[in-house]
């Protein structure tokens, strides 16, 4: 008796209908997968993911209501093993880092959908890292440093990104999130996200542990911290 092959279940989330339809048609033609849902925004993506339990989610970053970066943690809280492939028009290392921090399995530029999306879906569905030729190389290089744990799940080595290291350094100096945001020219919410992710990644649970790590990692020195404390007590 021939064993029935289970088709890959995919949810596609993009606020442009023509893009969604194009993605669905491309994936079905090339992979003969099963499209279990189409979402027009991040809220719909979360709701449909919870009800349809896809294997892979194609998630556009720029969507109304919840954007892709906001929707991803909500989805992963319910479906921790789902593979998320983010779509973006933004070609930058910063975006690649944000996408990776949101728990993505792959990043594909919208300008490369036809060439790269099917490859990305195939790779992530087989728990393989995906390498694309442009800015997503930044993402892929981070992902390639992942280690395969004994239970088969992929986990990143505890190496903070450049932005996370900057934030850890400033936190160790006693800077509040608002001060860090002003210093780095980013939002308070972004600081909170990077700070929480870095502390979780490094296993840090208190300010004292952050300070000890920053000194060990060469991000600051005990002498500079002491002089900083002295200045703060004089003001």
Position 207 scores a pLDDT of 86
Calculate what percentage of the chain has a pLDDT beyond 70.
79
39 and 90 assigned to the same domain = yes
Tally of domains in the chain: 2
Q: Residues 160-171: what's their mean pLDDT? A: 87
Which domain-ending residue is among 121, 156, 191? 156
Q: What is the residue range of 32's domain? A: 9-156
36 and 148 assigned to the same domain = yes
145 and 187 assigned to the same domain = no
20 and 81 assigned to the same domain = yes
23 and 73 assigned to the same domain = yes
Tallying the residues shown for the chain, one arrives at 235
Q: Using CA atoms, how far apart are residues 160 and 26, in angstroms rounded to an integer?
A: 36
C-alpha dist (Å) from residue 14 to 21, 27, 67: 10, 15, 10
Which of 229 and 76 is assigned the larger pLDDT? 76
Q: How confident is the model over 35-92, as pLDDT tens digits?
A: 999 999 999 999 999 999 999 999 999 998 889 988 998 998 899 999 999 998 876 6
Position 5 scores a pLDDT of 61
Q: Residues 218-222: what's their mean pLDDT? A: 80
Name which of 136, 69, 54 is nearest 103 in CA terms: 69
198 and 214 assigned to the same domain = yes
Query: Does residue 158 have a pLDDT over 70?
Result: no
Q: Residues 147-164: what's their mean pLDDT? A: 53
56 and 131 assigned to the same domain = yes
| Measured CA angle at 51 (ends 39, 67), to 5 deg | 35
Query: Does residue 170 have a pLDDT over 90?
Result: yes
pTM of the model: 0.59
147 and 196 assigned to the same domain = no
Percent helix / strand / coil, the chain, rounded to 5? 55, 15, 30
Buried b (16+ CB within 10 A) or exposed e, 182-213: eeeebeeebbebbbebbbebbebeeeeebbeb
Q: How confident is the model over 6-41, as pLDDT tens digits?
A: 889 999 999 999 999 999 999 989 998 999 999 999
Sheet holding 56-60, edge to edge: 34-39, 9-13, 56-60, 83-88, 106-109
* CATH code of residue 223: 1.10.10.10
35 and 151 assigned to the same domain = yes
């Amino acid at each position: 008796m021939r064993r029935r092959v289970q088709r890959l279940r995919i949810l596609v989330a993009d606020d442009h209908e023509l893009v969604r339809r194009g993605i669905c048609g491309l994936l079905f033609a090339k992979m003969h997968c099963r499209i279990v849902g189409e979402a027009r925004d991040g809220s719909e993506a979360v709701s449909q993911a919870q009800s349809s339990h896809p294997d892979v989610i194609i998630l556009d970053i720029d969507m109304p209501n919840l954007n892709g970066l906001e929707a991803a943690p909500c989805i992963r809280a319910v479906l921790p093993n789902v593979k998320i492939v983010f779509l973006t028009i933004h070609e930058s290392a910063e975006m690649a880092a944000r996408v990776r921090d949101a728990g993505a399995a792959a990043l594909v530029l919208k300008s490369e959908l036809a060439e790269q999306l099917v490859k990305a879906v195939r790779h992530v569905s087989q728990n393989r890292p995906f390498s694309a030729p442009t800015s997503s190389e930044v993402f892929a290089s981070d992902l390639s440093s992942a280690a395969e744990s004994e239970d088969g799940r992929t986990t990143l080595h505890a190496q903070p990104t450049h932005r996370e290291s900057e934030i850890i350094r400033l936190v160790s100096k006693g800077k509040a999130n608002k001060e860090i945001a002003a210093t780095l020219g980013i939002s308070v919410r972004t600081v909170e996200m990077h700070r929480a992710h870095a502390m979780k990644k490094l296993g840090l649970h208190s300010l004292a542990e952050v300070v000890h790590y920053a000194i060990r990692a060469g991000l600051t020195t005990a002498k500079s911290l002491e002089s900083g404390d002295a200045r703060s007590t004089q003001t």
